[in-house]
Amino acid sequence: MNWETILIVGGGIGGLTAAIAMRRQGFAVDIIERDPDWSVYGVGITQQMNVIRAMNDIGVLDDYLTMATGYDSTTIFVGPEGIEKTKFETPKLAGPNYPSNAGIRRPHLQKVLGDKALSLGTNVRLGLTVTALNDDGAGVDVTFSDGSSARYGAVVGADGVFSQMRETLFPDAPQPRYTGQWVWRYNLPRPADLDGMKVFAGPCNAGLVPMTDELMYIFLVTEEPDGMFLEQEGSAAAMRARASKMPPPQLIPWIAQIKDDSEVVARPLKVVYLQDQDWHKGRVVLLGDAVHTTTPHLAQGAGIAIEDALVLAQEMACSDAPEIAFKAYRDRRLERVDHITLNSIRIGEAQMGIGEPADIETLNAQTIQLMSQPI
């Protein structure tokens, strides 16, 4: 047995993109997803030019854009007065007829990727995890939580920040650590003049992202004590209170509209990065947050998971030897993953007054330049 059938553990953004890319290369693909409802929370996600190019490469861009809102610029405002500092016009990597970037609701992104993976013949099984895994060098025998089992040519761990596959492969790897910040998000009506992303870089670290014709989302980054627990009841007032600390005038009317507790999505930021070691062991390999979870300060966590998936599928198509393909995959990913993972964390630390200062404009310019290069 070599590559005949691939098991992907995790049906999120990276796992689904990998399934599509691998099916397009001719691999048979099974996905198992732990969540029996395959659900995703309803706030938006920012997707930059490299993601738009990737959506085009895997043949979903037109469907994707029916659910997303494209935009071509990001503007950075500074200080409590919200003074415009820099406007980045970003490249259109999928061609002149497509936008450079997009905002999209996470469930819509999941639907586009899930529908494509299914239409290409991916076998998706919900409510399942791996209970045992035996790699004998020629294939991997996997036992699932429903007692069933199967043999695969390779297994891809795309199971997110708290990856069971990472734990199984590398029990001594670092655990996800809390960075000291939370991100709060809330959907609001989109004003007609919001035709790009707006980032307010301190003292109130926040932003506005267009998501559909009618909706945008506001995000807010705050410093919070480790272990903080947020009740959903009262969360809108909690978000308003935090956003009201020296907000720029452009945000004040929007902050006042944060009223519905059930619409607040707030998460502590956790990071983990297997920077100085292999991303695979034998025939099992990791991608996305399972191997490099960063903070959203450069809005590229999903972007690098999607790129991982494409590069992994390409390398697997080029080689019959898992070790060679998996090493080549990691080698091709390191520069971009290092840049995004480490600099995103660095911006968050600088916001908290820890570590070196981070020049957000320079880092954004470098990110646009690097992520526009071919993968």
Shortest separation between residue 99's beta carbon and ligand FAD, angstroms: 16
The smaller minimum CB distance to ligand FAD, of residues 123 and 319, is found at 123
Are 326 and 284 spatial neighbours (Cβ–Cβ below 8 Å)? Answer: no
The smaller minimum CB distance to ligand FAD, of residues 101 and 236, is found at 101
Q: Which position's Cβ is nearest ligand FAD?
A: 12
Q: Which residues contact 66 (CB under 8 A, 6 or more apart)?
A: none
Q: Counting beta carbons within 10 angstroms of the beta carbon of residue 269, is it exposed (0 to 12), middle (13 to 18) or buried (19 or more)?
A: buried
What is the rounded CA–CA span in Å between residue 197 and residue 296? 14
Shortest separation between residue 140's beta carbon and ligand FAD, angstroms: 15
Are 133 and 140 spatial neighbours (Cβ–Cβ below 8 Å)? Answer: yes
Shortest separation between residue 214's beta carbon and ligand FAD, angstroms: 19
Q: What number of other Cβ atoms are within 10 A of residue 223's Cβ?
A: 15
Q: Which residues bind ligand FAD (CB under 6 A)?
A: 9-15, 32-35, 45-46, 129, 158-160, 164, 183, 267, 288-290, 296, 299-303, 305
The smaller minimum CB distance to ligand FAD, of residues 137 and 226, is found at 226
Instruction: Tell me the CA distances in angstroms from 59 to 11, 65, 93, 367, one per residue in order.
Output: 18, 12, 14, 25
Shortest separation between residue 296's beta carbon and ligand FAD, angstroms: 3
The smaller minimum CB distance to ligand FAD, of residues 77 and 179, is found at 179
Are 255 and 243 spatial neighbours (Cβ–Cβ below 8 Å)? Answer: yes
Shortest separation between residue 6's beta carbon and ligand FAD, angstroms: 15
Q: Where are the alpha helices (DSSP H) in 25-172?
A: 49-57, 61-67, 106-119, 164-169
Shortest separation between residue 18's beta carbon and ligand FAD, angstroms: 9
Shortest separation between residue 321's beta carbon and ligand FAD, angstroms: 25
The smaller minimum CB distance to ligand FAD, of residues 290 and 363, is found at 290
Q: Which residues contact 293 (CB under 8 A, 6 or more apart)?
A: 160, 161, 176, 270, 271, 272, 273, 301
Residue reference for tokens 């450079």: 100
What is the rounded CA–CA span in Å between residue 343 and residue 341? 6
The smaller minimum CB distance to ligand FAD, of residues 80 and 223, is found at 223
The smaller minimum CB distance to ligand FAD, of residues 139 and 288, is found at 288
Are 340 and 294 spatial neighbours (Cβ–Cβ below 8 Å)? Answer: yes
